[in-house]
Chains A and B, each alone.
Chain A
Amino acid sequence: MIVEVLFFGATAEATGERAIEFSLSENVNADEAFAAILKSFPGLQQNFKNSLLFAVNQEYSGGDKIIKNGDELAVFTAVSGG
Chain B
Amino acid sequence: MITEKDFFELTTEPIDVGEVARRFVPNDCGATVALDGYVRQFTKGRETLYLEYESYEPMALKEMEKLIAEAHKQFEISLVGIVHRLGRLEIGETSVVISVAAPHRRAAFEGCEWLIRELKRTVPIWKKEIYAGGETWVEGEKNLTADEHR
Max chain B Cβ within 10 angstroms of own Cβ: one of A6, A8, A63, A80: A80
Cβ-based interface call for B30 (8 A): no
Cβ-based interface call for A39 (8 A): no
For residues 17 through 65 of chain A, which have their beta carbon under 8 Å from a beta carbon of chain B?
Answer: 48, 50-55, 58-63, 65
Pair count A-B, CB < 8 A: 99
Knowing A80-B125, A81-B96 are in contact, say whether A60-B119 is a contact too (CB < 8 A).
no
Give how many A residues have a beta carbon under 8 Å from the other chain's beta carbons.
Answer: 27
Q: How far is the CA of A15 from the CA of B60 in the complex (A)?
A: 22
Q: How far is the CA of A80 from the CA of B56 in the complex (A)?
A: 12
Residue pair B141, A58 in contact (C-beta under 8 Å): no
Knowing A59-B62, A62-B149, A63-B149 are in contact, say whether A80-B139 is a contact too (CB < 8 A).
yes
Max chain A Cβ within 10 angstroms of own Cβ: one of B60, B120, B126: B126
Residue pair B139, A77 in contact (C-beta under 8 Å): yes
Question: For B116, what are the chain A residues with a Cβ–Cβ distance below 8 Å?
Answer: 82
Question: For B120, what are the chain A residues with a Cβ–Cβ distance below 8 Å?
Answer: 79-82
Residue pair B54, A9 in contact (C-beta under 8 Å): yes
Question: For A82, what are the chain B residues with a Cβ–Cβ distance below 8 Å?
Answer: 37, 95-96, 116, 119-120, 125
Contacts A60-B150, A79-B123 known; list 16 others, CB within 8 Å: A8-B124, A10-B126, A10-B137, A50-B142, A53-B144, A54-B149, A58-B58, A58-B59, A61-B150, A74-B56, A78-B141, A79-B121, A79-B122, A80-B139, A81-B95, A82-B116
25 A-B pairs, CB-CB below 8 angstroms?
Answer: A8-B56, A8-B126, A9-B128, A10-B139, A13-B137, A50-B142, A54-B149, A55-B56, A58-B56, A58-B58, A58-B59, A58-B62, A62-B146, A63-B150, A74-B59, A76-B124, A76-B126, A79-B121, A79-B122, A80-B120, A80-B127, A80-B138, A81-B96, A81-B120, A81-B127
